[in-house]
Amino acid sequence: SLGNETAKAELGRASWKLFHTVMARFPDKPSSDESQALKDYIHLFARLYPCGECATHFQQILKKYPPQVSSRSSAAAWACFVHNEVNVSKGKPVFDCANIGDWYDCGCADGEKEEGG
């Protein structure tokens, strides 16, 4: 079908927001289990992304640039880089990844280890 570019862009913005916010909240020093969980999350995000052509395209990017899951900063920088790969393929400007650490705020007041509340 012709698709709906407005809906596709809206889904993209919402998805990138979640994607980068997940990276911004990933531990600085993750356990191997946490690193594996992020790797699985990224691959499943790419595989199940609702826009089929986007999913195919993003899975190709992941093959070329495997997820970096050893720390928060490496995960955030990697996510910024692969989003830029999509930006470039769409003719969009490249985002400056230098300040990525301050850009994505989950709005949650809880500390890293708090559970609930």
What would the DSSP string read from start to end of 86-107? HHHHTTPPPP-GGGHHHH----
Q: Which residue is nearest to ligand FAD (CB)?
A: 12
Footprint of ligand FAD on residues 11-70 (CB under 6 A)? 12-13, 15-16, 20, 49, 53-54, 57-58
Cα dihedral sign for 66, 72, 74, 77? Answer: positive
Task: Record the tokens describing residue 71, joined without a space.
Answer: 């720390």
Residues binding ligand FAD: what is the number (CB under 6 A)?
A: 21
Task: Record the tokens describing residue 51, joined without a space.
Answer: 């826009």
Footprint of ligand FAD on residues 69-98 (CB under 6 A)? 80, 83-84, 86-87, 90, 92, 95
- The H-assigned helical ranges of the chain are 5-24, 32-48, 52-64, 72-89, 100-103
- Please select the residue that binds ligand FAD; options are 3, 7, 9, 88, rule is CB under 6 A: 9
Which residue's CB is nearer to ligand FAD, number 15 or number 74?
A: 15
* Alpha-carbon span 81 to 40, nearest angstrom: 19
Does residue 106 belong to the site contacting ligand FAD (CB under 6 A)? Answer: no
Look-up of token digits 């928060």:
72
Q: In angstroms, give the least distance from the CB of 110 to ligand FAD.
A: 23
The site for ligand FAD (CB under 6 A) is made up of: 8-9, 12-13, 15-16, 20, 49, 53-54, 57-58, 80, 83-84, 86-87, 90, 92, 95, 100
